[in-house]
Structure 1
């Protein structure tokens, strides 16, 4: 073997090793997949679903397995949609909605639905029209949270087969046509006028009640005063009766005669220029008083 043949054999051996190294490096590159935290990879083998790769380092079979879909699992928001609906009392309203969702099972999403956003938007529109059609306008305005919960639940049930989770559903606004707005404004003004009249009537009734209560209170206080006065008179009469019982009738007559003398004495006091007319019984009172006083002594 000459030098040229040896060199050729050595070169061929090096090429084989180089090709083998390149093949190994290519297998590593094709077999190792690093999946970001916010994504999932759908792997196929010969056109069929093989596996779903989660975040981190994953290994697949080179040249057999292929990453067909890279699906983001972040929460998504559908564009704000507006749809018309008719309430149960035949009022046309325009409802603006927004839905938030995220993909939980990408193997269902990529193989069961082509346009996820359009499908969810269509589902939401149908559910909103159905829900509002069962409610009156006042209920739509006052029970918006109940309607939102209903929409979210029904949308979640509808998209469950697509591997999607509905995280939030919002009704941003409920718009009315101008004619309905004017009718509602008139109704609101009439309701305000009615409430004002009711408030005024209640105020008048309350004033009458307070006046009656005041009169009743005054009557009760007056009756209480009369009762107290009567009790006092009864007590005084009882004291007099007790004194008469204990000291005899003469003691009472003595006190009465003494008061009569004092009263006549007070009448007689003056500057001496006046004329005093006394009934004849007054002299009898003096006589009785002096007799009693004399007997008392």
Structure 2
């Protein structure tokens, strides 16, 4: 048969060469490892750590070395975890957290910890409870960024021996029980009412202050008007006094007597006042006026 003739025609040296070529191919296949950019390979020799292969082409010893672990170095996110915590003012809260990390040293990760995700979650839960226990509820709500930063630093210190890097830690939500929510809502409403009363009182106070300022301004303006009037009267008095000094006392007496006479004439000229009763000194005023008038008219 053809097959039997072919086998009979192959010599022993040819078979050896074929087997040697096959062995070389197998060695190349087993000794060359191409590692992707997003992974690292952990190589063991007889069950012990030999090396860690980085991205690219790597050579290992065939039949002695083997790739025991293929570890992704991409950033990972732990599933969102919820844990209960009690604040320093004895308020029970439920905190939702999430952690991002990546593996830097695969040899530590695969040989020092079995379940890295569970270990990180447990560590984060303990740190969160510890940090929230140091703060009051208002501080937890208002200082969330500071709390996240503290948790990240503490988690990094705790997981350093596992060959990982914590890239980010997040507090997604802080939930309260129904009773605490109701109490806080009542407190919020009371605070709003108090602020409204304070605003109303401040408005009333401001109104009183403005009214008082208006009254004070009116009083100041009245005082200024009276002061101007007094200054005018003082000026008129000064003018009269100067005229008396310049023209003599007789001229002043004459003017006074003349005014008295004019007043009496006006009183007698009124309607229904045909009869006028005058005091005795009024007659004297007439006489004085006539005497002064006559003296003035003399050349």
TM-score (norm 1): 0.77
How far apart are 1:14 and its partner, in Å? 7.4
Query: Which residue number corresponds to residue 47 of structure 1?
Result: 47
Aligned counterparts of 1:242 and 1:221: Cα–Cα separation in 2: 31
Q: Cα–Cα, structure 1 residues 283 and 165, in superposed 2: closer, same or farther, change >3 Å?
A: farther
Aligned counterparts of 2:36 and 2:89: Cα–Cα separation in 1: 52
Aligned counterparts of 1:28 and 1:251: Cα–Cα separation in 2: 149
Aligned counterparts of 2:178 and 2:271: Cα–Cα separation in 1: 104
**Does the aligned pair in 1 maintain the 2:35–2:58 contact within 8 Å?**
no
Aligned counterparts of 1:180 and 1:167: Cα–Cα separation in 2: 34
Is residue 142 of structure 1 aligned with residue 142 of structure 2?
A: yes
TM-score (norm 2): 0.76
How far apart are 1:81 and its partner, in Å? 0.9
Give the alignment of 1:154-169 within 5 angstroms. 154-169=154-169
| Gap regions ≥5 residues in structure 1 | none
RMSD across aligned C-alpha pairs, in angstroms? 3.8
Aligned counterparts of 2:274 and 2:77: Cα–Cα separation in 1: 118
Query: Which residue number corresponds to residue 12 of structure 1?
Result: 13
Is residue 176 of structure 1 aligned with residue 180 of structure 2?
A: no
Give the alignment of 1:89-128 within 5 angstroms. 89-128=89-128
Give the alignment of 1:22-33 within 5 angstroms. 22-33=22-33
Of 38-47 and 102-111, the range deviating more from structure 2: 38-47
**Does the aligned pair in 2 maintain the 1:97–1:173 contact within 8 Å?**
yes
Aligned counterparts of 2:57 and 2:254: Cα–Cα separation in 1: 128
Query: Which residue number corresponds to residue 61 of structure 1?
Result: 60
How far apart are 1:123 and its partner, in Å? 0.7
| Gap regions ≥5 residues in structure 2 | 1-5
**Does the aligned pair in 2 maintain the 1:103–1:164 contact within 8 Å?**
yes
Aligned counterparts of 1:286 and 1:47: Cα–Cα separation in 2: 152
What SS is found at the alignment partner of 1:174? strand
Q: Cα–Cα, structure 1 residues 251 and 8, in superposed 2: closer, same or farther, change >3 Å?
A: farther
Query: Which residue number corresponds to residue 288 of structure 1?
Result: 292
Of 23-32 and 146-155, the range deviating more from structure 2: 23-32
Q: Cα–Cα, structure 1 residues 249 and 82, in superposed 2: closer, same or farther, change >3 Å?
A: same
